[in-house]
Every structure is written in structure tokens, then in C-alpha cells.
């Protein structure tokens, strides 16, 4: 069974993906409308607005974030696969984040329009900003 057509919205702002030591405390600057914090035995990974990150933090700037409009049932199958396959076929790398309610895809800012087009060509709808 094919995944359903999905609606995504582009979040405002530009995001960065940070890597800190696994035993680092949660930093004060990890805040904003959308943040994701994941701690593993290997790292503390933080996605947050690019403007928040101070000098000296290992990070990669220039990401835009698309939210899959939800909430989505956790039992759904193929949601991320349908989105990431469309982007992979367009040769667009993606940083995916899942939450209880939905999924988020980050793509490099300079590839956002191509990502929107690739998703649209596979039946998904991306709502524009503004």
C-alpha cells in the first residue's frame, strides 16, 4: 500500500545542527519555536535556530525545516520513506526528525525549492511561507 499524499509546511527561519560532547549540559541557547535535542552515548545533538548558536560550537548552518502536518498515528507505515525517497531521487540530502505527533525534514536552504518541487511531483503538498 502506498503512503498517503501528505501536506507539509515550511517553518520560518534558518536552522543549524549542532554536535556537543555526550556529557555536555543542555545549553541555554537551545531554545526557539522549533528545537530538537537528542542525547546518545556518543553525542548531544541539537537542532535550533541558527541565530542562537554561539561561536565555538561544532555545527552546520543553513538548514530549512519542513513539518509534516499531523498529528500522524504512530501505526502509519511509509511516511518518512515516501518523503525521503522523493528527495533521494532528486539527489537532495535530508536530516529527519520524528516526534510523537509528526515528522520534520530539514534540507539545505539552497535546495529548498528543489525539495518542494520533488515532493510536489510525487503527490505531496508543501505549503509556502506567508
**5 pLDDT above the threshold of 50:** yes
Domain ranges of the chain: 7-127
Of 100, 97, 103, 95, residue with least CA distance to 3: 103
What pLDDT score does 12 carry? 95
CATH architecture, range 7-127: 2-Layer Sandwich (3.30)
| C-alpha dist (Å) from residue 3 to 90, 125, 129 | 19, 13, 25
Q: Convert the pLDDT of each residue in 12-22 to its tens digit.
A: 999 999 999 99
**117 pLDDT above the threshold of 50:** yes
Q: Convert the pLDDT of each residue in 44-102 to its tens digit.
A: 999 999 999 999 999 999 999 999 998 888 888 889 999 999 999 999 999 999 999 99
> 2 or 64: whose pLDDT is higher?
64
What is the pTM assigned to this prediction?
0.92
Of 20, 94, 40, 67, residue with least CA distance to 29: 20
What pLDDT score does 129 carry? 67
Amino acid at each position: 500500500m502506498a503512503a498517503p499524499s501528505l501536506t507539509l509546511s515550511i517553518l520560518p527561519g534558518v536552522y543549524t545542527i549542532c554536535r556537543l560532547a555526550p556529557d555536555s549540559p543542555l545549553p541555554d541557547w537551545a531554545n526557539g519555536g522549533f528545537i530538537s535535542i537528542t542525547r546518545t552515548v556518543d553525542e548531544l545533538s541539537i537542532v535550533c535556530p541558527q541565530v542562537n548558536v554561539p561561536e565555538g560550537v561544532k555545527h552546520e548552518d543553513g538548514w530549512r525545516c519542513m513539518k509534516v502536518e499531523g498529528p500522524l498515528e504512530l501505526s502509519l507505515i511509509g511516511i518518512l520513506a515516501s518523503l525521503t525517497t522523493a528527495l533521494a531521487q532528486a539527489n537532495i540530502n535530508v536530516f529527519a526528525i520524528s516526534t510523537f505527533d509528526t515528522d520534520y525534514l530539514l534540507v539545505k536552504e539552497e535546495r529548498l525549492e528543489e525539495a518542494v518541487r520533488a515532493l510536489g511531483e510525487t503527490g505531496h503538498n508543501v505549503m509556502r511561507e506567508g
